[in-house]
């Protein structure tokens, strides 16, 4: 699957198949990941903030009901 995706190359040495990373494929994946970070980075950061806020609020409410 990695070879089909262009991430590795293979060569046959005797009865073995030797794999190595394909630089172009790995760079392409890095560029793709960078585009995703740019697209979703702000939204995911905001989601993380909202999750943390909800957890903090639940802890606060929990402590308030114990008193």
What pLDDT, on a 0 to 100 scale, did the predictor assign at position 15?
97
**Any domain includes 3:** no
**Any domain includes 2:** no
What pLDDT, on a 0 to 100 scale, did the predictor assign at position 45?
86
**Any domain includes 23:** yes
**Any domain includes 55:** yes
Is residue 3 within 8 A of residue 10, CB to CB? The reply is yes
What pLDDT, on a 0 to 100 scale, did the predictor assign at position 67?
58
Number of C-beta neighbours around residue 2 at 10 A? 13
pLDDT at 2 exceeding the cut of 70: yes
**Any domain includes 19:** yes
**Any domain includes 18:** yes
Q: Summarize pLDDT for 5-49 with one digit per residue, the tens.
A: 999 999 999 999 999 999 999 999 999 999 998 888 788 888 999
Question: How many domains is the chain partitioned into structurally?
Answer: 1
Using the structure block, give the residue that is written with the tokens 């172009």: 24
- Percent of the chain residues topping a pLDDT of 90: 60
**Any domain includes 56:** yes
The boundaries of the domain holding residue 23 are 8-66
**Any domain includes 21:** yes
What pLDDT, on a 0 to 100 scale, did the predictor assign at position 32?
94
């Amino acid at each position: 699957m990695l070879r089909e995706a262009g991430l590795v190359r293979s060569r046959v040495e005797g009865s073995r198949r030797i794999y190595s990373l394909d630089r172009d494929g790995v760079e392409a994946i890095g560029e793709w990941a960078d585009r995703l970070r740019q697209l979703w980075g702000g939204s995911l950061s905001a989601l993380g903030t909202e999750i943390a806020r909800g957890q903090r609020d639940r802890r606060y409410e929990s402590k308030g009901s114990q008193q």
